[in-house]
Structure 1
Amino acid sequence: YARKVLIKHLQEGNSYGIWLKHTHAKFAQPELGPWLAGSATVGENWRPPTLTGWEPRAH
């Protein structure tokens, strides 16, 4: 039963793991996993995060 619930959450995008993929994926990959046809692709435009006040100085 727990596996069915997990898969349902993943397929609907209701997962903390899905949020993590949007934030941290460094290469293109299916958002909801390869088992779901037509899943959106995430990680194509990854950029390292910048903390306010810690940006590199202009040279």
Structure 2
Amino acid sequence: KVFAAWKWDVGISVSACLIGVGAIIIAVICYKKDSELQRQKEEAASELQKVEEYA
């Protein structure tokens, strides 16, 4: 009887850990994509400013 409860506890704990790790990985991927997009926007704005200065 105790062993059955122990299996449930371990199963729930492992599931919670996997969900947590998955959430962290998703957050890191989204952050990297957002950083890359922000960098591209800054480069485009800088390039546009250079073009306007020469015109």
- Give TM-score, length-normalised by structure 1: 0.27
Structure of higher RCO (CA pairs closer than 8 Å, 6+ residues apart): 1
- Give TM-score, length-normalised by structure 2: 0.28
Which of the pair has more CA radius of gyration?
2
